[in-house]
A and B are shown apart, each in its own frame.
Chain A
Amino acid sequence: MSLYIDVTEFLASLRKTGIERINGEICRYLPPNTAIPVQFCSDCYVALPPALISAVGRYFRDGAEAEATEIRRLASARGSPVEILTSDTLLVPEIFAYERAKYFREMSNQQLQRCRFIIYDLLPFTHPEYFLPHLPGVMSEYFHIMRRANYCGFISEYTRDAFYGRLMRTATRGGVVLPLGSDSLGPRNSRPTANRSLAFTVLGTIEPRKNHALILEAFEPLLGKIQGLTLSFVGRMGWVDSDFARRVHALASDNRSGFQFHDAPTDSAIRIQIEQSRATIYASDAEGYGLPPVESLWLGTPVIASKTIPSLQALPGAGIHYVEPLDVERLRQAVLAFLDDGYANQKVEEALHLELPTWRSFTQEVLRWCNQDCP
């Protein structure tokens, strides 16, 4: 009886963000000798040395580049093909297409029940306008398989609702919800700073659904007028129209604009940025979870957010200032509210006492789920 964990996509990129981060955090918090890493090659999974899991864990914990070399070395030592037996479990925390899709498609329902898929979102289906036109077609095969796999894990209630309510078109709910950890950026602060400078930070890749243009519009009349007010975009420049990208770069290059753009910060730099911010802003139109706002709350920094962020929906609302409905004027009013030290400090205090999931708790939930039989 073995637990295999699919690290195919992670090994291809060794990225520390997005879905690869989840894979990494699981490896980081898995108890020793709990799972065997596997990689998909052509038409089957092959086993990799168990030491790879701790190497991946260290890579995420310490961030040392030496660990990347070690991961590559261990990954090159491929073992024999793995046959998933009825007593085994295959944890697939990645999304896939083509060969892997074919592999799973050809599985019997019984075999498929031994697989544990983590489903992150249905956005290419529910919000295709934010993605490349061919993506829904590419994702169709993945979701076709997910519909057969009847014991999936969902990173949010919202994603589970979308899956069952829309894709399966049923009122019943299956699978489990596995809230992601909030502590990627390190341990929680016991006493966050009060009376912070008038710095606001927007975390995440710059792309249309995250509404960076709207945020900038809300700030532009204030920047330069309110002394000390700054706005920072922290995240890589993703899929945006070239005019907006030019505008961001132009503003950032103007020292007097009060606007900053950090496109490739380290985790520690992000942490410092958040800790020094009066609030972070997260105004995305659609998310599967929304990690940045809970990471902000974890560090004791309040969040100005739209109502549509699944990760916040499970929380009581403390430390959060919702903008509903989201528009430029309401967002500007929210920013102005945070200029008041009393209000901002109160929100910091609220954030400090929020109960938030951690990657350890997430991994424990994943393990519990993997060890359960399909209902």
Chain B
Amino acid sequence: MQPVVYADFRCLQDPRYRVRGIGRHVAALFRTRRKSAFSTWKVVALTDPESPKLPPDIASLADEITCSTNPCIDSAPSVFIDGTPMTHDTRFSLRFLNHPHFFRAAVLHDFIPLDWPGYLPTLGHRTDYLAKLARLRKFDRFFPVSEYTAWRASELLGASRRQMTVTGSSVRSSLYKLRDRLELASDPCAQSEPYFVIVVATDVRKNPEVAIKAMRHLNLLYGRRIPLKVVGHYDHDYKNKLLQLAGSSKRSSFLEFHHNVSDRDLVKLYQGAIATVVPSHIEGFSLPVVEASVCGCPVVASTCAAHMELIDLEEALFASDDAAALCAKLEALLNNPVLRDSLRASQASLAQRFHQNGVGERFWTALETAIKHRHGPVVITKPQKPRLAFLSPYPPDESGVARYTAMTIRAGEHLFQSDLYTDAPRPLTFDGTFRDAGPVNLTPSLNSRYDGIVSVIGNSLCHANIFKVFERCGGPCILHDARLTQIYHLRLGEEGFLRFAARLLGRPVSVEEAYNWLQDRNPATLFLEPIIERASPLIVHTVTQQAEIEKRYGISPTVLPGCPNSYFAFDELTGSRKQAVREQHGIPPGAFLISSFGRVDPVKGMETCILALELLRSWKIPAELYFVGSAHVYSSEIDRIASLYDVASHVHAQTGFIDEDTYRDFVIASDAAIQLRTYGFGQFSASLADCISAAVPTIATSDLATSCDAPSYVKSVPDRFSPLQVAEQLALISEDQAARSSHEDARIAYLETHNFEYYGKRLIEVLGVG
């Protein structure tokens, strides 16, 4: 199996970080990965679906981009790299921080919020920052950008220096190329108006004030204009503040603003400057120091620790609060080209040291060594069987999905250990060997034992909390429904649903449209987008659903063949057993018993079933129709239609949940079944699978029959069906009189690949945890 580097790419999605030092450093590391021993590893970029998409140049740094932060654990080595561990929501990477399988590496930029006042104004901010600090202790290896940051990390985390490799931060390679291409127009000192450069940001610690004071004094001293050219990220208000500090209007000021300069212009500015002033009170690393050096511009920097790692000549250093000292240093440089040259020469080595290739090499080589020498649980003490966490409905939840999960866990007990997280009421009512791990929540991601955390998603409210967890973590997902229209409507409410639909479709959505979609009429989307982008792998139960998703969304989910919920021994399907069950339930002798299994719903052709029965009876076929599933709110509608067509005494429905024994009895007793759906989309039907499992001749809609790999004793009607078509097929079954035993070979062939033992085996193969 290919080893994997999982990397948190959120800082590269976030425009606040991507174009600044932090983002550029992380991107540069991954740019050099292909030159390292990790070139054969797969890089999986972990992204937040709510944040902007990665730009193409960044996306190309990864082999795979995913919104899932819940991977399965296989035997291949895996590394997790967090490039900005102190910035974003840390719950994003719970799985990587808590499972011993992963080797965790953190890039450390600084601890300035802790070391400089004003960054953590509230208790909430402080608590959050301290929590992030505490989380850092879970990392195996640190990559601070400076000795200073490494020292602070040791102090704060108690981490050994052996766990750290100082990489520095790299200057983007475009500056090197431009530097080599652009020729210096004239000697900076010989220009008519020699100037200095400062790189600013709105951050208070950047301290441009001291530089402006010093430059103001220098301008007064010489009685002529000596510009300070200001580059960097700032807004209008900030610019006015600096002008105020300079004591002059925009027109007469010695300050010159160069906003949003291109790299080309930046290189020219550096090259033409007497020096660059970097006056920060505190830094983790200082890119302007290195950038200026790359462009051949000497730097005069404050004496903060990070600067002193880069600059050693006293002539180039000043205390960040000493404007007079700075003024003196600048004046010396202005008047002494030899001094300028000597500073430049002394700083020239920075360019080589902080080229991205050098920085990248330090990073990847150290990471490789660290993995090789990893102590402790490199090989996790794994049980013989993989351990899976299921987040799912479960009986007594009255849902087909609940039962499906229960059957999966029970049949899989020889293949995997199961922990169940469910919001079903206790006591749970389906026997199986598993651990009841409590209600659905985020804790599986904190648990180091799980090889896979599987979310079971469906189109009903009993999945509500599973959606919440899945939307945060993603990961393996068993999708039971072909569309999620109704659950999103229930979760979001009407207004929220309309906004959600509009966002997915990129256009306004009317109430009328939404109403039709809720009736499963021509939905413009299946509302699977949030699931698809977070699922890895996405598991569906039919090839038709796979094709539908591929057609609509361009991705191909994995298919595990859907299984019946009910299984029957051969002797349960004999004529005598059938007769006995029919007597037990008071089925009239000679009746042609038709059942429709599952929850009753108009979208399952409820009306058509009754109308088809009426036709059959008009054809002198003594048909009786049983809805074997809760009719709930549709009970009165069934009565109305049946009465309208004078067949009320031949249509049988009940409002309550049907118990398993009764359900099985009707599968055994039925002469035929009807399983229809007015919508398709490749949805699996456990009820149809149950009919197939018992070789009940069944009428099903074409999409449903195809989806369920139905054998020949399932007769299909078009997806847009009529009562006549259904009745005609039923009449053929009635006239056929073939014993069920004649379908035995087809039944056995179907069950060979449609059973939960097979399903469980395929599941662990698909999860890669087998």
Same assembly: yes
Interface residues of A (CB under 8 A from B): 122, 124-126, 128-129, 131, 133, 136-137, 140-141, 144, 147, 166-169
**A168 and B408 alpha carbons, distance in the complex (Å):** 47
The answer to whether B608 touches A136 (Cβ under 8 A) is yes
Known A133-B678, A136-B608, A144-B614; contact A122-B724, beta-carbon cutoff 8 A: yes
**A147 and B644 alpha carbons, distance in the complex (Å):** 15
**A23 and B618 alpha carbons, distance in the complex (Å):** 31
Q: 12 A-B pairs, CB-CB below 8 angstroms?
A: A125-B723, A125-B725, A128-B718, A128-B721, A136-B611, A136-B722, A136-B724, A137-B608, A137-B611, A144-B645, A166-B728, A169-B619
Contact of B644 among A126, A129, A136, A141 (CB under 8 A): A141
CB distance from B517 to the nearest CB of A (A): 14
Specify the chain B residue showing the minimal Cβ separation from A143. Answer: B724
Contact of A128 among B619, B722, B731 (CB under 8 A): B722
Specify the chain B residue showing the minimal Cβ separation from A123. Answer: B722
Known A141-B644, A144-B645, A147-B618; contact A167-B608, beta-carbon cutoff 8 A: no
Specify the chain A residue showing the minimal Cβ separation from B728. Answer: A166
The answer to whether A128 touches B720 (Cβ under 8 A) is yes
CB distance from A140 to the nearest CB of B (A): 5
Q: Does B607 contact A (CB under 8 A)?
A: yes
List, in ascending order, chain A residues with CB within 8 A of B718's CB: 128-129
List, in ascending order, chain B residues with CB within 8 A of A124's CB: 722
Interface of A, helix, strand, loop or mixed by DSSP: helix
Specify the chain A residue showing the minimal Cβ separation from B603. Answer: A133
List, in ascending order, chain A residues with CB within 8 A of B731's CB: 169
List, in ascending order, chain A residues with CB within 8 A of B611's CB: 136-137, 140
Residues 444-481 of B, flagged 1 when their CB comes within 8 A of A and 0 if not, give 00000000000000000000000000000000000000
B642-661: which residues lie under 8 A (CB-CB) from chain A? 644-645
Residues 714-751 of B, flagged 1 when their CB comes within 8 A of A and 0 if not, give 00001111111100100100000000000000000000
Specify the chain A residue showing the minimal Cβ separation from B619. Answer: A169
**A289 and B521 alpha carbons, distance in the complex (Å):** 30
| Supplied contacts A125-B724, A129-B720, A141-B644, 10 more A-B pairs, CB within 8 Å | A124-B722, A125-B723, A128-B722, A133-B678, A136-B611, A136-B721, A136-B723, A136-B724, A137-B723, A167-B724
Interface residues of B (CB under 8 A from A): 521, 607-608, 611, 614-615, 618-619, 644-645, 678, 718-725, 728, 731
List, in ascending order, chain B residues with CB within 8 A of A168's CB: 618
CB distance from B706 to the nearest CB of A (A): 16
- Closest CB pairs A-B (n = 3): A136-B722, A125-B724, A128-B722
- Which of A126, A129, A144, A169 has the most chain B CB atoms inside 10 A of its CB? A169
CB distance from B249 to the nearest CB of A (A): 61
The answer to whether A131 touches B724 (Cβ under 8 A) is no
List, in ascending order, chain A residues with CB within 8 A of B608's CB: 136-137
**A147 and B618 alpha carbons, distance in the complex (Å):** 9
**A247 and B165 alpha carbons, distance in the complex (Å):** 64
List, in ascending order, chain B residues with CB within 8 A of A122's CB: 724
List, in ascending order, chain B residues with CB within 8 A of A169's CB: 619, 731
List, in ascending order, chain B residues with CB within 8 A of A136's CB: 608, 611, 721-724
List, in ascending order, chain A residues with CB within 8 A of B644's CB: 141
List, in ascending order, chain B residues with CB within 8 A of A133's CB: 521, 678, 720
Known A137-B607, A137-B608, A141-B644; contact A126-B720, beta-carbon cutoff 8 A: no
Known A136-B608, A137-B608; contact A128-B614, beta-carbon cutoff 8 A: no
CB distance from B190 to the nearest CB of A (A): 68
List, in ascending order, chain A residues with CB within 8 A of B722's CB: 124-126, 128, 136
**A144 and B724 alpha carbons, distance in the complex (Å):** 12
List, in ascending order, chain A residues with CB within 8 A of B719's CB: 129
List, in ascending order, chain B residues with CB within 8 A of A128's CB: 718, 720-722, 725
Specify the chain B residue showing the minimal Cβ separation from A141. Answer: B644
**A168 and B719 alpha carbons, distance in the complex (Å):** 24
List, in ascending order, chain B residues with CB within 8 A of A141's CB: 644
**A347 and B381 alpha carbons, distance in the complex (Å):** 87
**A365 and B83 alpha carbons, distance in the complex (Å):** 88
**A258 and B614 alpha carbons, distance in the complex (Å):** 52
The answer to whether A166 touches B724 (Cβ under 8 A) is yes
List, in ascending order, chain B residues with CB within 8 A of A125's CB: 722-725
Specify the chain B residue showing the minimal Cβ separation from A135. Answer: B722
Specify the chain A residue showing the minimal Cβ separation from B618. Answer: A147
CB distance from A285 to the nearest CB of B (A): 13
CB distance from A246 to the nearest CB of B (A): 17
**A206 and B170 alpha carbons, distance in the complex (Å):** 66
**A153 and B703 alpha carbons, distance in the complex (Å):** 37
- Which of B607, B645, B721, B724 has the most chain A CB atoms inside 10 A of its CB? B724
**A144 and B718 alpha carbons, distance in the complex (Å):** 22
List, in ascending order, chain B residues with CB within 8 A of A129's CB: 718-720
CB distance from A124 to the nearest CB of B (A): 7
**A131 and B721 alpha carbons, distance in the complex (Å):** 10
CB distance from A205 to the nearest CB of B (A): 19
**A124 and B720 alpha carbons, distance in the complex (Å):** 10
Specify the chain B residue showing the minimal Cβ separation from A101. Answer: B644
List, in ascending order, chain B residues with CB within 8 A of A147's CB: 618
CB distance from B638 to the nearest CB of A (A): 13
CB distance from A265 to the nearest CB of B (A): 31
Specify the chain A residue showing the minimal Cβ separation from B520. Answer: A133
Specify the chain A residue showing the minimal Cβ separation from B614. Answer: A144
List, in ascending order, chain B residues with CB within 8 A of A167's CB: 615, 724
Specify the chain B residue showing the minimal Cβ separation from A139. Answer: B722
- Which of A124, A133, A167 has the most chain B CB atoms inside 10 A of its CB? A133
List, in ascending order, chain B residues with CB within 8 A of A131's CB: 720
List, in ascending order, chain A residues with CB within 8 A of B723's CB: 125, 136-137, 140
Specify the chain B residue showing the minimal Cβ separation from A144. Answer: B645
List, in ascending order, chain A residues with CB within 8 A of B619's CB: 169
Specify the chain B residue showing the minimal Cβ separation from A102. Answer: B644
**A359 and B644 alpha carbons, distance in the complex (Å):** 38
The answer to whether A126 touches B645 (Cβ under 8 A) is no
CB distance from B619 to the nearest CB of A (A): 5
CB distance from A224 to the nearest CB of B (A): 33
List, in ascending order, chain B residues with CB within 8 A of A166's CB: 724, 728
The answer to whether B607 touches A126 (Cβ under 8 A) is no
**A305 and B728 alpha carbons, distance in the complex (Å):** 29
**A125 and B611 alpha carbons, distance in the complex (Å):** 11
CB distance from B648 to the nearest CB of A (A): 14
CB distance from A147 to the nearest CB of B (A): 7
Specify the chain A residue showing the minimal Cβ separation from B611. Answer: A140
CB distance from B611 to the nearest CB of A (A): 5
**A128 and B724 alpha carbons, distance in the complex (Å):** 10
**A131 and B720 alpha carbons, distance in the complex (Å):** 8
CB distance from B272 to the nearest CB of A (A): 59
**A122 and B727 alpha carbons, distance in the complex (Å):** 15
**A137 and B637 alpha carbons, distance in the complex (Å):** 13
**A343 and B718 alpha carbons, distance in the complex (Å):** 41
**A167 and B722 alpha carbons, distance in the complex (Å):** 12
CB distance from A254 to the nearest CB of B (A): 28
List, in ascending order, chain A residues with CB within 8 A of B615's CB: 167
**A144 and B725 alpha carbons, distance in the complex (Å):** 15
List, in ascending order, chain A residues with CB within 8 A of B618's CB: 147, 168
- Which of A128, A140, A147 has the most chain B CB atoms inside 10 A of its CB? A140
**A140 and B678 alpha carbons, distance in the complex (Å):** 17
**A144 and B615 alpha carbons, distance in the complex (Å):** 9
List, in ascending order, chain B residues with CB within 8 A of A137's CB: 607-608, 611, 723
**A32 and B348 alpha carbons, distance in the complex (Å):** 113
Contact of A126 among B521, B614, B678, B724 (CB under 8 A): B724
**A140 and B641 alpha carbons, distance in the complex (Å):** 11
Specify the chain A residue showing the minimal Cβ separation from B727. Answer: A169
**A365 and B53 alpha carbons, distance in the complex (Å):** 72
CB distance from B444 to the nearest CB of A (A): 42
**A147 and B724 alpha carbons, distance in the complex (Å):** 13
CB distance from B741 to the nearest CB of A (A): 28
CB distance from B519 to the nearest CB of A (A): 10
CB distance from B516 to the nearest CB of A (A): 11
**A167 and B723 alpha carbons, distance in the complex (Å):** 10
CB distance from A55 to the nearest CB of B (A): 37
CB distance from B612 to the nearest CB of A (A): 10
